[in-house]
Structure 1
Amino acid sequence: MKGKAQRSRVKLGVPLLIIVCSLFFFAGLFLSPLLFHFQDFGEVGRRRLLQESASKEFGKSGEPFLHSIPFQILSWRPRIVYFPNFTTDDVCEKIIEMAKPKLEASKLALREGESAENTKGTRTSSGAFISASEDKSGILGLLEKKIAKVTMIPRSHGEAFNILRYEVRQKYDSHYDAFDPAEYGNVQSQRIASFLLYLSNVEAGGETMYPFEVKYGIHQHLVDNFHGMKDVEEVN
């Protein structure tokens, strides 16, 4: 019986030794950082550590300051993203003044068999194309940079700004911003995205509607208060 009792104690002793060693190991692992953290460096030492931490650079954003642009996804099919307050009222007013002397009747790309006469009611606005390089104030250049950031499309892929004015009862019928070569022939460039920046606010009208949204049960209007590619519209 004594031999059996001794063997039993030996069997119990090995697992117990492993458990005790494990407890000491984990205690040292977790307690040593805490002890180091609360070590007294003195007031000067603590201040130096805070200063060093504050001066570290954790990567650069590519801009002189952090700049977030809020957005809301209105639809995935078609993909429509809304950027509220994309720019300021002052910038909008300056763009309007810049475009006013250059406005003329908006033109329309014609399909085979179409003419200016049988399509004259399709688009009744007036407009002007202005490139950022023409704008000495730099406003359009800054807008291009911001548009490139939110769309993730390089500035070099963009067109000149198409600044449009719609007066009462003027409109542009439903259309595509890209050209089907089978209908229009070969074109020099194709739009992969359009960015609409509304330059004025009105009590009623002035919205842009995407008719195919209705099919997907979304039916979302982009209203004229959309301060927020190149189709830049002034709604009057």
Structure 2
Amino acid sequence: MYLKLLCVLSVLLISSIKVQAEWFSSMEQIIDLVRHESLLAPTLQNYIKAKMEILLKLKTYGDELSEIADKVSANKEEYIIHPINQYHLIKRFATQWTEVNQLLDRFNRTGKKTDFIKNATRLFPKEEDIKGSAEGILRIQDTYNLNTSDIAEGNISGEKGHNSLKKLTTDECYHIGKAAFNGGLYDPCTHWMQFSLQRFEEGKQNFSKAHAEEYLQLCKMVSICLHRIQAVKYRLLNLKDCYIHIQHTKITVVPEQCFPQNKVIEKLHHYYSTPTELLVLCIGETRAIHIGATIKLHCYLHTNNGNPWLMFNPVKVEELWDSPHIVQFYDVITSAEVDKIKKLAKPRLFRAIHFEDKEDSEVFQKAAYRITKVSWLNDTSGPVIAKLTRRISEITGLSMNTTEELQVANYGVGGEYPPHLDVASRMYDHPDGERIATFLIYLSEVEEGGGTAFVRAGVAAKPIKGSAVFWYNMYPSGDIDIRTFHGACPVIIGNKWASNKWIRELGESFHRQCKLDRN
């Protein structure tokens, strides 16, 4: 604004010079100069002041962001595996770096350095990314029963010393509490709002104390009502119409009308509906031996009945469970091969989607319950993929003629995949048939969390880089084996990469024949 005014005054002054000229020859013209100067001088000062304010803000951001960047650069790998650091990183780009770009625009500067930042803003995270990362923190807390105050202090697992670079601010605690409320996690919502109120300082927060108290009261009351009908983490079908009315700071809850005993309750198809069996396995990620069962599990070397490729380099096998038979192969892929697969997959990653039938139309939508990005690689994508396909055939003894492409997945903040069966029959270029077996390869170590839990079998596989978990999800008869119901536990600490090779029933007639006994 000041620059425009300065330009206008300069034009007027120049016009005056052209019209009048020879200022020295008239006292009235000299008086005009005084008048011009009385306008120009404060305008210039105001312009300089405005620029200095912008520069001061840029310097503040620059100092803060440079300090953080230096700390991060000292140990990038250790930094990025922590979910609170991931949350802060996303938030910095969605807020601070976006503000820096806006300040640069106001400063009217051009050049390679500022243009680089301006162009980069198109790729910056947005508000929805902050929300998604907050939900990731809630997933970790809910699954692993973590303390709110510990998370706020950046301490996800104190005994291993995994601390965040920065603690969560009071504002951030409040907004995580709001995310808990919106997701139906009323107990965590209560804890986060209580914590934000404990640390509240008037004038230093971006939310009012009344708002936090409002959410706290609401979450407490809804939680009590839900517990009364034994429906924790469930919602009524008419949630918004029934029991929540927020008008300014007034809350009205009508339990008698909203929670009759025969009211139909809908379980959320979302990450907040994690079954108890999965929670138990994710917390321990160890075998849950069934009461009264005597099971002998073995570790052995596998040559697949004398396969020439495995005779001199047998595969190490650990039995995870006997029925259904679930095994974990070790050292099936080298670190160099893993790096090549990641390099091929990274530029092709997209948000995981799922298929839905809607009014006789086939629709693919983002899978809100699956916090991961995936890519698909076939044998022509690179020699390493073709080599891995051959190796899977050698290890399993199955044909690869009717397999799906190799799916490579990278999990996000608190990334998980709720329990499911690998029986999808509609993929991009495989519209028919059903899967018969799953070969799940871990492409990275995960320090904490991220295991694969078989909730019906009561066993969890630990993600170990280079290993692969293998199971049949169907009986030899072709019937679905619901005992292979499984899910991916949320990642606490680490960067989880995994890949899946689904081997279809079609084409396996001579490799896995149907038997008289369905088992």
TM-score bracket for this pair, using the shorter chain length: 0.5 to 0.7
Distance 1:163 1:112, change over 3 A: same
Separation (CA, whole Å) in 2 of partners of 1:139 and 1:151: 18
Q: For each residue in 1:1-53, what CA deviation from the matched residue of structure 2 results, as whole angstroms up to 9, or x when unmatched?
A: xxxxxxxxxxxxxxxxxxxxxxxxxxxxxxxxxxxxxxxxxxxxxxxxxxxxx
* Residue type of the alignment partner of 1:195: F
Contact 1:194 1:229 in 2 (8 A): no
Contact 1:158 1:230 in 2 (8 A): no
Of residues 130, 152, 169, the one that matches 2:397 is 152
- Residue equivalent to 2:369: 122
* 1:174 equivalent in alignment to 2:419: yes
Q: For each residue in 1:176-202, what CA deviation from the matched residue of structure 2 results, as whole angstroms up to 9, or x when unmatched?
A: 111389xxxx94131100111111112
Contact 1:148 1:155 in 2 (8 A): yes
- Residue equivalent to 2:312: 66
* Residue type of the alignment partner of 2:319: I
- Residue equivalent to 2:337: 91
* 1:131 equivalent in alignment to 2:131: no
Contact 2:440 2:468 in 1 (8 A): yes
Distance 1:109 1:78, change over 3 A: farther
Distance 1:147 1:228, change over 3 A: same
* 1:222 equivalent in alignment to 2:222: no
* 1:109 equivalent in alignment to 2:370: no
Separation (CA, whole Å) in 1 of partners of 2:307 and 2:412: 42
- Residue equivalent to 2:436: 192
Separation (CA, whole Å) in 1 of partners of 2:348 and 2:440: 20
Q: Give the number of the structure with larger relative contact order, counting CA–CA contacts within 8 Å between residues 6 or more apart.
A: 1
Separation (CA, whole Å) in 2 of partners of 1:130 and 1:84: 22
- Residue equivalent to 1:161: 406
Distance 1:130 1:82, change over 3 A: same
Separation (CA, whole Å) in 1 of partners of 2:440 and 2:313: 21
More helix by share: 2
Distance 1:127 1:154, change over 3 A: same
* Residue type of the alignment partner of 1:144: T
Q: For each residue in 1:139-169, what CA deviation from the matched residue of structure 2 results, as whole angstroms up to 9, or x when unmatched?
A: 1111111111121111213111000010221
TM-fit CA distance, 1:62 = 4.1
Contact 2:320 2:461 in 1 (8 A): no
Separation (CA, whole Å) in 1 of partners of 2:313 and 2:444: 25
Task: Tell me how large the CA RMSD over aligned residues is.
Answer: 3.2
Count how many residue pairs are aligned between Structure 1 and Structure 2. 164
Over the matched positions of the two proteins, sequence identity in percent amounts to 22
Separation (CA, whole Å) in 2 of partners of 1:193 and 1:149: 15
Contact 1:129 1:161 in 2 (8 A): yes
* Residue type of the alignment partner of 2:345: A
Could you say which structure has the larger radius of gyration? 1
Distance 1:61 1:106, change over 3 A: closer
- Residue equivalent to 1:235: 496
Separation (CA, whole Å) in 2 of partners of 1:146 and 1:76: 24
Q: Gapped runs of 5+ residues in structure 2?
A: 1-305, 471-487, 489-494, 498-519
Distance 1:124 1:61, change over 3 A: closer
Distance 1:78 1:230, change over 3 A: closer
Contact 1:166 1:235 in 2 (8 A): yes
Q: For each residue in 1:200-224, what CA deviation from the matched residue of structure 2 results, as whole angstroms up to 9, or x when unmatched?
A: 112111111111112xxxxx21111
Distance 1:230 1:159, change over 3 A: farther
User: Tell me, what secondary structure is at the counterpart of 2:398?
Assistant: coil
TM-fit CA distance, 1:111 = 6.0
Distance 1:230 1:126, change over 3 A: farther
Pairing of 1:1-12 with structure 2 (within 5 A): none
- Residue equivalent to 1:20: none
Separation (CA, whole Å) in 2 of partners of 1:227 and 1:199: 6
User: Tell me, what secondary structure is at the counterpart of 1:93?
Assistant: helix
Distance 1:230 1:69, change over 3 A: closer
- Residue equivalent to 2:448: 204
User: Tell me, what secondary structure is at the counterpart of 2:320?
Assistant: strand
More strand by share: 2
Separation (CA, whole Å) in 2 of partners of 1:64 and 1:223: 24
Q: Gapped runs of 5+ residues in structure 1?
A: 1-59, 215-219
Separation (CA, whole Å) in 1 of partners of 2:340 and 2:333: 12
Contact 2:329 2:468 in 1 (8 A): no
User: Tell me, what secondary structure is at the counterpart of 1:83?
Assistant: strand
Separation (CA, whole Å) in 1 of partners of 2:432 and 2:335: 34
* Residue type of the alignment partner of 2:395: V
